[in-house]
Structure 1
């Protein structure tokens, strides 16, 4: 199985510069970005078998990642 990272820049390449700008200038965006990155790393570790957990917990992490991505996208779109 190929494990794919879901970095925000990879997911939203058209906002690459705006992501960098907001990470530097908007503390709320930077915190959401950090949370998104942390959750993505946790999902990867579980999918690679480095950490073991229940399927329900993995699904909850994926849902959190998606919610954060939606919030970040909204901020980027309105910036």
Structure 2
């Protein structure tokens, strides 16, 4: 299972990510949403008790990509 935490995805932006998490409420909400979706995907990929359909997992992965794109754009604009 791959690591998709935001600081792992964008290691060159780690300092900025950490700063914005503390100082920017808009970024913080976006970040939390991304991390929640990522954690849910990881939970399902581990195959623990709460199973899901392949379609639902694919939809979650797509959502994670869109959120990551939005975060990347936000990081470069601010």
TM-score normalised by the shorter chain: which range applies? over 0.9
Runs of 4+ in 1 over 3 A off after TM superposition: none
Residues 3-34 of structure 1, C-alpha deviations (whole Å, 9 max, x = no match):
12200000000100000111111111101100
Q: Work out which of the residue numbers 18, 35, 38 in structure 2 matches 1:37.
A: 35
What is the TM-score with the length of structure 1 in the denominator? 0.93
- In structure 2, the partner of 1:26 is 24
Long gaps (5+) in structure 1: none
How many correspondences in the alignment?
77
Mapped to 2, the partners of 1:46 and 1:55 lie a distance apart of: 10
- In structure 2, the partner of 1:53 is 52
Mapped to 1, the partners of 2:31 and 2:11 lie a distance apart of: 15
What is the TM-score with the length of structure 2 in the denominator? 0.94
For residues 61-72 of structure 1, what are the structure 2 equivalents within 5 Å? 61-72=60-71
